[in-house]
Structure 1
Amino acid sequence: MRIKNILGRIFAVWGAIVFVGTMLLIVIPVGFTYWIPGRKGVEQFRKFGRAWIHSFLFLTGCRIVRRGAENFKKGENYIVIVNHNSLIDIPISTPEIPGPNKTIAKVELSRIPIFGIIYKRGSVLVDRKNAESRRDSYRAMKAVLAEGTHMCIYPEGTRNKTGKPLAPFHDGAFKLSVDTGKHIVPALLFHTKKVLPQHRPFFFWPAKMEMHFLEPVSPEGLDAKALKDKLHEIMEAYYVAHA
């Protein structure tokens, strides 16, 4: 265990160097995508983001396996909900979603120099302590869906620290689905806690991660609470069966 702790910190130093180095290579191309409006701009941004994250994973000895991409039907866009166990979840999940997508994200991280340029380009920002910001972000998510772009949401709100397969879900993603009629694609991440564990500061461990997309779920005939309960049940059962 002591050797693993030492190696984990060495890998963390290397991971930080690779993350920053590869980020600096794409920040200028990402900046140019701000000039491309709407869905096309998001699509170009995601191409750069995917190249960045895949390069980072390769150079740090990690890889991600994607399953269920066929559940995204051509010409359709969805609300994609993802479980959240580790800080690496957001960087790896949005590049794996087939097609242009934005994610709901905390405004605080957008203030980090250089990284904030990339972070803001792929996000709908929200200050969760500000009611007006929450309302604005909800309208922005509707606009994202209206232009044909996927909207990625982490319904647990933050990393799951409950000891259960999934933490309770917040209402936002399900209200958004009912209001817009957009189907929800449930997505499950596996083994991300091996790479960046919650309770080990400055620790990184190379591992294979997986992202599984399940069949879309329609909001038809359901209110937000019933839809939330249904999706929680589906995702929890799948996670338990495959973890």
Structure 2
Amino acid sequence: MRIKCLYSLWALVLFWALIFALLIPAYTVYLIAFLFTKYPQDAFQIFPRYIFKLYFKIVPKINLILDIPDELPMGAVYVATHQSSIDYPILGSFIPKYLSLTNVNVTWIPIASTSAKLIGIRYLNSSDLGAVAKSYEELQKQLNEGRNVIIFPEGTRHQAGEELGKFKKVAFRLALNTSSPIIPIVIEGSGKVLAKGDPCYKTLKQTDVHVKMLKPIDPKNFKGERELLKYTQKLLQDKKDEMCEILYS
């Protein structure tokens, strides 16, 4: 257990070292882009995207296997299953021009708060209805302008081997209100590396983490958000079960 925790500490230090090493060039490019483009954060976001990719190359215990198309849809709501804290960097390594919600509050750390905002992360305080409405408006504007949103509809992480948790409505409401496609993604295996409620790696063996992107779902084919939600959840659960049967049988 001690070795696993030491390895986890090394992996965490490596992750943040890579982040901080590129903050100066990222902010420099951002400030230049700020003078010429409407979305200067796109320039900033390029740096963490490559940091995430580099991180998964360096950490030998995670073998990331992506099954995604060469060209990704834009102006879409990407909804993914959620087992581990490494799921966000996984998605951030290949989805461009996105905003994503988190319930982890880093607003009290100035540089972390600013950097997270430029990367595309928005802290959502669900108890503040005004803040929730403001966040929803920002996400809706993002989609209306042909950009992407990443949401983990479970709102939390499920344990490896468990069924998906109950989905929240926000992703599906956004899709219907903006006529944006839903892009379902199954992430399977990340919970076998780093699970909810445990800061230490569960294994020191190399672990495959599979990422499968499914076909876009057109919200116009559904009567309302509840029907769209149920369909998407069943689709993700069925694909997750199918993948687990192939991978672990």
In structure 1, how many angstroms separate the alpha carbons of the residues matched to 2:192 and 2:128? 34
Q: Partner amino acid for 2:81?
A: N
Aligned length: 236
Contact 1:188/1:211 (8 A) holds in 2: yes
In structure 1, how many angstroms separate the alpha carbons of the residues matched to 2:102 and 2:197? 22
CA spacing shift, 1:238–1:42, aligned 2, 3 Å: farther
Could you tell me which residue of structure 2 aligns to residue 231 of structure 1? 232
Structure 1 window deviating more from structure 2 (161-170 vs 150-159): it is 161-170
Q: Partner amino acid for 1:51?
A: Y
Match of 2:173 among 172, 175, 178: 175
Could you tell me which residue of structure 2 aligns to residue 214 of structure 1? 214
In structure 1, how many angstroms separate the alpha carbons of the residues matched to 2:107 and 2:24? 16
Please give the secondary structure, in 2, of the residue aligned with 1:69.
coil
TM-aligned CA deviation for residue 59 of structure 1? 2.2
Query: After the TM superposition, which segments of 4 or more aligned residues of structure 1 sit over 4 Å from their partners?
Result: 37-40
Could you tell me which residue of structure 2 aligns to residue 44 of structure 1? 43
CA spacing shift, 1:215–1:161, aligned 2, 3 Å: same
1:30 aligns with 2:21: no
User: What is the TM-score with the length of structure 1 in the denominator?
Assistant: 0.87
1:33-62 per-position Cα deviation (integer Å, ceiling 9, x unaligned): 554357753432332112111222222212
Please give the secondary structure, in 1, of the residue aligned with 2:123.
strand
Q: Partner amino acid for 1:190?
A: E
Unaligned runs of 5+ in 1: none
CA spacing shift, 1:64–1:105, aligned 2, 3 Å: same
In structure 2, how many angstroms separate the alpha carbons of the residues matched to 1:212 and 1:39? 32
Contact 1:190/1:209 (8 A) holds in 2: yes
Could you tell me which residue of structure 2 aligns to residue 80 of structure 1? 78
TM-aligned CA deviation for residue 105 of structure 1? 2.1
1:19-40 per-position Cα deviation (integer Å, ceiling 9, x unaligned): 1211111222333455435775
Q: Partner amino acid for 2:114?
A: I
Matches within 5 A, 1:1-243: 5-32=1-28, 34-35=30-31, 36=33, 40-61=39-60, 62-70=62-70, 72-73=72-73, 76-97=74-95, 99-106=96-103, 108-112=105-109, 114-121=111-118, 122-161=120-159, 164-203=162-201, 205=204, 206-222=206-222, 223-243=224-244
User: What is the TM-score with the length of structure 2 in the denominator?
Assistant: 0.85
In structure 2, how many angstroms separate the alpha carbons of the residues matched to 1:116 and 1:47? 18
Contact 2:8/2:199 (8 A) holds in 1: no
Q: Partner amino acid for 1:68?
A: I
In structure 2, how many angstroms separate the alpha carbons of the residues matched to 1:172 and 1:15? 33
CA spacing shift, 1:30–1:129, aligned 2, 3 Å: farther
1:162-206 per-position Cα deviation (integer Å, ceiling 9, x unaligned): 963210100100011111000100011111112212243333645
In structure 1, how many angstroms separate the alpha carbons of the residues matched to 2:57 and 2:38? 28
Contact 1:71/1:213 (8 A) holds in 2: no
In structure 2, how many angstroms separate the alpha carbons of the residues matched to 1:110 and 1:213? 32
In structure 2, how many angstroms separate the alpha carbons of the residues matched to 1:208 and 1:234? 22
CA spacing shift, 1:20–1:70, aligned 2, 3 Å: closer
Percent identity reads: 21
